[in-house]
Amino acid sequence: MNKITRTVLFLLLFVFAITSCKRDNDDTTEIVNREIYNLMNDYYLWYDKLPANIDPSAYATPSALMDALRYKTFDQWSVVITKTEYYQYFEEGKMIGHGFLLGLDENDNVRVAFVYRSNQAFDKGVKRGWIVSRVNGNSVNPSNVFNLLGESEIGIRNRITFIDEDGVVQELTLTKEEIEITPVIHYEVLNQNDTMIGYMVFQDFIDAANEELDEAFTLFASEGIDEMIVDLRYNGGGSVDVAEYLAGWLIGKNFGNQPFVNFRHNDKYAGEMDTTINVPAKANGLDLSRIFFIGTSSTASASELIINGVKPFVGSVLAGSATHGKPVGMYAIPFINYDYVVLPVMFKYTNADDEGDFYEGLPVTLPAEDDLTKDFGDPEEGSLKTILDYIGTGIVPEKSTKSTAGRKNLIESDKPVNQFLKAY
């Protein structure tokens, strides 16, 4: 998401266009569908690739229309969501649920991938790596876990049987609640043979992140770290403003005010809307010659922008597996009279060296496993261990031959907002 001034002006103009064409007797879906169709024909990055002979009124929902309009060769992301979903996550930093993400280990056990810090599950000790074996007495598998946990509604109670890191059964009753999202899942300074290494797991590029980033990087600066690891393995992206802010901490001390990311729109708006955003200057930021990142196929958008964006200035070393491959971005277009926000792909982005178009994902430097059996910060966890070994020896590991190498470990629902918000 990008919140630059020209975008705000564009949103106002678009809202005016929607409200000015509203007629009292128009069907809501038909109005919304017509405006989405007009928007896509004008501002969509691939407007010239839209399917011919689309009748917007023939689609029962705006989401169904968007599915039909997407340029399938590249676009997996353009979406329509409700205002509640948009504002709750991106601006308020809240969600409804149990506050954890689930994934699969190499034996197809359903495991906790992370837990936000401000919820019942965290308070009761649930950790990354715990196996979820039963919900309300029913055995769990990847295909039934969403149904067993129920809808994202406040007050839904679940009796969940976990198996913890020691193999001990933990039966907990958890109630779904409104949760304050904690974007920095984990941070600490690791000491490896007197090398001080900052390690941070960052999950959400939302407005609530900046204060937590300040807290983490203030610690890293005070400890005088020699290396930095930014763990983005499940981060699906979000606000470019927050990506800028993170870039300031990572490289803003030495490269402040240098071009960081270029936004390029379709040929109708290339001159009017194209822009370059600079690295924010940060006098107390890090002073390092390289930054390590951890990525997976779930690492997307603003996460990839950061990994790609620091590369012209310092070493950008990616461990794990190739990223998702989303070198494009979306603007949020709210309807003033209807409960919808449209997020169409409207620009592509490149770094200061004009590198982009990585639809196959950013390539990995240090191949490693996403080891769901171990908690964040555990020096034996696959991806972290690979980086620590490389820092210690300088040897690049051979690509793993395990079946889990590069596979998508997360269990994700089909809710549109889940391309950003992955926990439930």
- CA pair distance 53, 50, nearest whole angstrom: 9
pLDDT given at position 417: 72
Positions in the chain whose pLDDT score sits under 50: 1-17, 20, 23-25, 401-405
- CA pair distance 10, 33, nearest whole angstrom: 19
Closest CA to 419 of 98, 75, 182: 75
Domains and CATH numbers, the chain: 5-91 (no CATH), 95-180 (2.30.42.10), 184-327+348-402 (3.90.226.10)
Retrieve residue 371's tokens: 């080891």
Partner residues linked to 330 by β-bridges: 345
Residue with tokens 């996460």: 303
For the chain, what is the radius of gyration of the CA atoms?
22
Closest CA to 32 of 336, 288, 301, 262: 336
> Which residues are CB-contacts of 3 (< 8 A; sequence separation ≥ 6)?
239, 240, 241
DSSP letter at 343 equals E
> Which residues are CB-contacts of 21 (< 8 A; sequence separation ≥ 6)?
31, 35
Count CA within 13 A, CB hemisphere, residue 60: 0
pLDDT given at position 11: 42
- CA pair distance 115, 128, nearest whole angstrom: 7
pTM as predicted: 0.91
Closest CA to 345 of 276, 419, 408, 294: 419
Instruction: Kindly write down the DSSP assignment for every residue of 156-213, as one continuous string.
Output: -EEEEEEE-TTS-EEEEEEE-EEEE--SEEEEEEEEETTEEEEEEEE--BSTTHHHHH
Retrieve residue 422's tokens: 């992955």
CB of 299 within 8 A of CB of 234? yes
Retrieve residue 299's tokens: 């690492």
pLDDT given at position 407: 57
Retrieve residue 106's tokens: 């190499």
Phi, psi (deg, nearest 5) at residue 209:
-75, -30
CB of 293 within 8 A of CB of 316? yes
Strand order across the beta sheet in which 184-192 lies: 184-192, 195-202, 227-231, 290-295, 315-320, 366-367
pLDDT given at position 400: 55
| Long-range contacts from 89-92, C-beta under 8 angstroms, 24+ separation | 89/181, 89/206, 89/417, 89/420, 89/421, 90/1, 90/206, 90/207, 90/238, 90/239, 90/332, 90/420, 91/206, 91/207
